[in-house]
Amino acid sequence: MSDRRQWLAKVLTITAMIGTLAVLSVGCGNKTASSAARARTSEPRALTAVYIKTAPVMDGRQDEVWSKGVPVTLNLKGDAAVEPKQVTVRALYTDTEIFLLASYRDSTPLKLNRGWRYEGGRWVRGSYDDTLAFLWNMNDSIKDFNERGFNVVNAKPGVNDDVYDFKIIRTNEADEAAFAAQQGDLWSWCMVPEYYFRAGDFVFRAEPKIAGRTREITVQHDYRPNKAPWFKNEKTVNGIVLPKYMLKPGLTDTPWPYEDEVVEITDSTVFRDGDTAPAMIMKRDVKWGGSKDDVSAKATWTVENGWLVEFSRVLNTGWPDDVKFNAADREVRYTFGTIVRDGGNGYAYGEPVSLLFAGNK
DSSP symbols for 223-273? SSGGG-SEEE--EEETTEEE--EEEPTTPPP-SS-BGGGEEE---GGG--T
188 close to 204: Cβ distance less than 8 angstroms: no
The pLDDT of residue 144 is above 80: yes
Q: What is the pLDDT of residue 112?
A: 61
Q: Do 166 and 199 share a domain, yes or no?
A: yes
Distance CA 171, CA 183 (A): 17
Those residues whose C-beta lies under 8 Å from the C-beta of residue 153, and which sit 6 or more positions away, are: 166, 167, 168
Torsion angle (degrees, nearest 10) of CA 18, 19, 21, 26: 140
- Which amino acid, 274? G
Domain count, the chain: 2
- Residue 99, pLDDT above cutoff 90: yes
310 pLDDT exceeds 80? Answer: yes
- Give the H/E segment covering residue 119: strand 116-119
Q: State yes or no: pLDDT of 5 exceeds 50.
A: no
Has residue 19 got a pLDDT over 60? Answer: no
84 with 24, same domain: the answer is no
Q: State if pTM tops 0.75.
A: yes
308 and 274 within one domain: yes
Q: Is the pLDDT of residue 213 over 60?
A: yes
- Say if residues 218 and 204 touch (Cβ distance below 8 Å): yes
Rounded-to-integer distance, Cα 189 and Cα 185, Å: 13
216 and 302 in a common domain:
yes
Q: 129 and 223, same structural domain?
A: yes
The answer on pLDDT for 43 being more than 70 is no
pLDDT at 309: 94
My answer on whether 236 and 279 are in the same domain is yes
- Does residue 35 surpass a pLDDT of 90? no
The CATH number linked to 58 is 2.60.40.1190
**CA quadruple 350, 173, 219, 244: dihedral sign:** positive
> Once rounded to an integer, what is the mean pLDDT over residues 135-159?
95
Which three-class secondary structure state does DSSP give residue 39? helix
pLDDT in tens, 49-90: 999 999 999 998 899 999 999 999 999 999 999 999 999 999
Question: Residue 209: pLDDT band by 50, 70, 90 thresholds?
Answer: confident
Nearest residue to 336 via CA among 305, 295, 306, 307: 295
| Pair (64, 29) in one structural domain | no
Q: Which domain holds residue 38?
A: 1-42
> Which is it for strands 45-51 and 353-357: parallel, antiparallel or unpaired?
parallel
Whole-angstrom distance, CA of residue 220 vs CA of residue 197: 21
Percent of the chain scoring above 90 in pLDDT? 53
Same domain as 51, residue 36: no
Bigger pLDDT: 326 vs 127:
326
Q: Are residues 272 and 347 in the same domain?
A: yes
Comparing 347 with 110, the larger pLDDT belongs to 347
Both 25 and 129 in a single domain? no
Task: For the chain, give the mean pLDDT.
Answer: 83
pLDDT tens column, 218-272: 998 776 666 788 888 999 999 999 999 999 988 877 777 899 999 999 998 899 9
| Same-domain check for residues 24 and 56 | no
Regarding whether 13 and 51 lie in a shared domain, the answer is no
